Amino acid sequence: MKNENQLDEKLASDSMKSIAKLVKDLPEEIPSMNWRSQLNERILAEAKPKPKLELQRWLLRPALGLGLAAALAVAFVIRPVASDATGSSVESLMIATHQDDVNYASVTGAGLSVSEMKDYSSPTPVSDPLLDLDVF
């Protein structure tokens, strides 16, 4: 409350009144219609989409062209890994099962086959500990 009174007193002083009068006497500037029209035209020009020709030039830049060619090669020339071949469709499962069997046989020889690895992986105690030779 005390601060407010002090502020009111300062605003009512002669020096502040003269400043207020100076500001009040300043001429009011109204933007001309001509100026506003020019501004609108500039805004419209800036908002227009870039011409198609410019976009085409950009697309045909060498680096982009190479990138596009590589992408097309990956998509159509290089045979990609079939994404659904790794899924669980009946057909992909059949091919994968056959391939696994052939691969395992080519590597393991007389060792465990793929079906043996999957079906028989349950350890069995080798011997009864009481029958260890150390016991006797």
Name the site residues for other proteins (rule: CB under 8 A). 79-82, 85-86, 88-126
Nearer to other proteins, 2 or 79 (CB): 79
We find the least distance from the C-beta atom of residue 129 to other proteins, in angstroms, to be 12
Nearer to other proteins, 71 or 102 (CB): 102
We find the least distance from the C-beta atom of residue 88 to other proteins, in angstroms, to be 8
Residue pair 82/93 in contact (Cβ under 8 Å)? The answer is: no
We find the least distance from the C-beta atom of residue 80 to other proteins, in angstroms, to be 8
Q: Give the DSSP H or E segment for 69.
A: helix 62-72
Nearer to other proteins, 34 or 88 (CB): 88
We find the least distance from the C-beta atom of residue 97 to other proteins, in angstroms, to be 5
Write the burial class of residue 1 (CB in 10 Å: 0-12 exposed, 13-18 middle, 19+ buried). exposed
Alpha-carbon distance of 83 to 75, in angstroms, equals: 13
Nearer to other proteins, 11 or 105 (CB): 105
Alpha-carbon distance of 21 to 13, in angstroms, equals: 13
Residue pair 111/97 in contact (Cβ under 8 Å)? The answer is: no
